[in-house]
Structure formats: C-alpha cells, structure tokens
C-alpha cells in the first residue's frame, strides 16, 4: 500500500495552544493563594508528577474509546492489578539485601523496573481476557457496555481480594527513591516523583511518536476519526483495537504501580478510586484525544495538589468543578476529536 500523499498539499492544522494556557493559569492563580514561592514550587512539582501518573493510566482508556467507541468502566481493574503486583514483586525483593532493600539507586531502580514490567505484563494479559470475554460481545451497544464493564470491574475487584486479601497493603518506596532532592530556593522534590515525571514524559513521547510517525499510528488515528472508512480500505480495525486495548491495559498497570508507590499503600478499592479521576481527565481532554488527556491530567494533578494544600475538604470537588468549567468553555473537551 502506497500512502504517498504529497505532504505539502495537506494544510497542517494550526496548533491550539489555549488549553496549555489553562495550565499556566491554574499554576499562576495558585501562586498568590499559596503565598510562599518555595511551597508553591514544591506543590507544582508534586502536581505535575501526579498528573503524569494519571496521564499514563488514562491514555489507554481514551484511545480505546476513540478507536472503537468503547467506554470501559473496568479500567480500574488493570490499575489495581498493577499496584498489587508491585506489592508482591517489591515485597519479595525488599528482604534484607534484595534490590529494593539496599541503599543503592541502581538496585532500587532495577527493583521498580521489575515491578513495573510484572505489573504491565499481568495487566496487559488481563486486558486481553477482559476484551475477549466482556467487551467483544457488546460492541456498539453503549448501555450494555457500561453495564457489563461495570460488572467486570466488580468481579475483578473481588478476584483481587481473593488473591491478595481485602486489607490495605503497605507499599513502601525503596530507600534510595524516597530521598528528597533539595533544589535551589528550598524547593523539595522526592526522587520518586522525579522518576514518575520521567516515566510519564517518556510514555507521552512514545505515544506521540507511534501515533504520529508510524504506519500503525496512522491507522489508529484514522480509525479514531472514521473507523468504517479504514475498515473499508481493508485494514483489520478490530485486531488493531485488541492491540490498543491490551497496550492501554498494560499502561494502566504501569500507572497502577506508580500510583501505588505514590500513595505508598494499596487497597483493592484503588481501581474504583482512580477510575473516577481518570474519567474526569478524559472528559476534560476530549474523549479520544491523547494530547487532551495529557493536558487534562496535568490540570487535574496541579489542582488536586493546590486544593489539597489550601482547602482539603474542597479538594474532593476541585476536579469536578474544573471539569464543569472546562465543559462550559469547550463542551466537547479541550481537544475535540473528529465528528462522532
């Protein structure tokens, strides 16, 4: 297949920078409210770290929706699976002298990498099963999709309780990652949060690269815009979708590992808790948009940290208020996708 459209003849879409201004506005608005600049910088960095973790979790969900119009209410299962896998792997490595127990950065990073790989693997495998058993029979039926995936979420949560027990499990950070970096101006940043930011940015860059620079990405983007046309051209969109679903689940597993380490505790309800957060993120971003999901996640992360510092009770509703404001401004989300 030759796809040599003369690139020059297609006008490049103008980049829409307003949503980025939203991020700057949130951060700048918080500065006088927080008052202290060092505090503000610490909160901002923490917010960006949280936002990037949320982005890793939500990116798969938004792509799955964009590609096949499937809204998966069971995405939280993959998050919980990743987080619990991390407790098992890091727990096994945390015994004296293990990779996660020593004061060595390289060994600790290795332990976290092992936990992340295990989490991604199991979440990805669970994603394949989930897609085959629950999602495939109800393609194209929104109401049933919501019901069945909700049922899948409940069953998944119960199975996790069976495997790891219903109680809260501690997930301490390896010693070298729980250190605090002292940046100039008394700004503090936990090393793990720096790692989370790097991973988040890496995932974002990799997703953009695959989506914008490869044939596979071209097909996914085309499928998001107009699935029937891509199918008519002879591409197996369904198989593509299964792949995207599994990768999305694996990313949620990775995000779950990081979220568990961020909170340092894991409960079986972690999936349901994060689920509500990522729903807000993908609505803010515009269902199906990767960039929108990125900006939405950062906005939610920043706001959660500022609000948690300024008014802890109001923080519960801060992201809902943000979503309401965004929907009043742009009813289809920050970066609307296609004409669905």
Partner 1 sequence: MLKALLSHDLPRSRPLAALLVLTVLALAAAPFLFPGARSLDVAAKILVFAVLVGSYDLLLGYTGIVSFAHAMFFGIGAYGVAIACSRAGDPGWPAVFGGLGAALALSALLALLIGLLSLRVRALFFAMITMAVAAAFATLVSQLSTLTGGEDGLSFSVPLAIRPSTDYLDDPVLGADIDGRFVAYYLLFAAAVVLVLLLLRIVNSPFGRVLQAIRENDFRAEAIGYRTVVYRTVSNVIAALFATVAGAMMALWLRYNSPDTSMSMEIMLNLLLIVVIGGMGTIWGALLGSALFMLAQNYLQDLMKLAGAAFGDVPVLGAVLAPDRWLLWMGLLFVLAVYRFPAGIVGQLRAGAARRARRTGASP
Is 87:171 a contact under the CB 8 Å cutoff? yes
275 binds partner 1, rule: CB under 8 A = yes
Q: Alpha-carbon distance 299 to 329, whole Å?
A: 15
Of the residues 323, 334, 335, 337, which one makes contact with partner 1 according to CB under 8 A: 323
Stretch that binds partner 1, among 123-131, 149-157, 172-180, 258-266 (CB under 8 A): 149-157
Residue identified by tokens 């989506």 is 211
Q: How far is the CB of 84 from partner 1 (least distance, A)?
A: 16
Q: Does 317 bind partner 1 (CB under 8 A)?
A: yes
Instruction: For residue 311, state whether it binds partner 1 (rule: CB under 8 A).
Output: no
143 makes contact with partner 1 (CB under 8 A): yes
Q: Which of 74, 109, 77, 108 lies closest to 94, judged by CA?
A: 108
Binder to partner 1 among 73, 192, 241, 335 (CB under 8 A)?
73
d(CA 133, CA 123): 15
Q: How many CB atoms lie within 10 A of CB 65?
A: 20
108 or 149: whose CB is closer to partner 1? 149
Cα angle 122, 128, 131 (rounded to 5 degrees) comes to: 135
Please state, in angstroms and rounded to a whole number, the distance separating the CA atoms of residues 152 and 150.
Answer: 5
Per DSSP, the residues of 189-246 read: EEHHHHHHHHHHHHHHHHHHHHHHHSHHHHHHHHHHH-HHHHHHTT--HHHHHHHHHH
Task: Rule CB under 8 A: say whether 319 interacts with partner 1.
Answer: yes
| Closest distance to partner 1 from the beta carbon of 340 (Å) | 9
Count of residues touching partner 1 (by CB under 8 A): 41
CB 31, CB 174: distance < 8 Å:
no
Residues 113-142 that bind partner 1 (CB under 8 A): 134, 137-138, 142
User: Minimum Å distance from CB 273 to partner 1?
Assistant: 7
Considering only the stretches 13-21, 99-107, 216-224, 271-279, report the one whose residues sit in contact with partner 1 under the rule CB under 8 A.
271-279
Q: List residues binding partner 1 (CB under 8 A).
A: 71, 73, 134, 137-138, 142-144, 146-148, 150-152, 154-155, 157-159, 161-162, 166, 272-273, 275-277, 279-280, 283, 287, 313, 316-317, 319-320, 323-324, 327, 331-332
């Amino acid at each position: 297949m030759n796809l040599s459209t003369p690139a020059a003849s297609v006008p490049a879409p103008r980049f829409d920078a307003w949503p980025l201004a939203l991020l700057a506005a949130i951060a700048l608005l918080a500065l006088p409210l927080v008052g202290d600049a060092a505090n503000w910088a610490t909160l901002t960095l923490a917010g960006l770290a949280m936002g990037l973790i949320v982005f890793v979790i939500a990116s798969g969900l938004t792509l799955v929706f964009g590609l096949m119009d499937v809204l998966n209410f069971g995405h939280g299962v993959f998050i919980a699976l990743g987080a619990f896998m991390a407790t098992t792997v890091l727990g096994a490595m945390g015994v004296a002298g293990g990779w996660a127990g020593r004061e060595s950065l390289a060994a600790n990073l290795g332990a976290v990498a092992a936990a992340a790989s295990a989490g991604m693997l199991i979440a990805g495998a669970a994603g394949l099963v989930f897609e085959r058993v629950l999602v495939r029979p109800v393609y194209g039926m929104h109401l049933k999709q919501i019901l069945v995936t909700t049922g899948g979420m409940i069953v998944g949560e119960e199975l996790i309780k069976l495997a790891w027990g219903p109680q809260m499990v501690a997930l301490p950070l390896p010693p070298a990652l729980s250190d605090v970096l002292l940046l100039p101006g008394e700004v503090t940043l936990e090393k793990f949060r720096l790692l989370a930011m790097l991973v988040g940015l890496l995932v974002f860059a990799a997703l953009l690269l695959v989506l914008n620079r490869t044939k596979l990405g071209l097909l996914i983007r085309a499928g998001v815009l107009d699935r029937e046309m891509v199918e008519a051209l002879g591409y197996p969109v369904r198989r593509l979708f299964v792949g995207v679903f599994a990768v999305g689940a694996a990313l949620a597993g990775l995000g779950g590992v990081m979220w568990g380490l961020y909170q340092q505790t894991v409960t079986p309800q972690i999936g349901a808790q994060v689920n509500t957060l990522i729903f807000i993120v993908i609505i803010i971003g515009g269902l199906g948009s990767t960039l929108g999901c990125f900006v939405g996640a950062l906005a939610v992360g920043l706001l959660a940290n500022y609000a948690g510092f300024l008014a802890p009770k109001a923080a519960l509703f801060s992201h809902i208020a943000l979503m309401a404001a965004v929907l009043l401004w742009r009813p289809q989300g920050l970066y609307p996708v296609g004409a669905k």
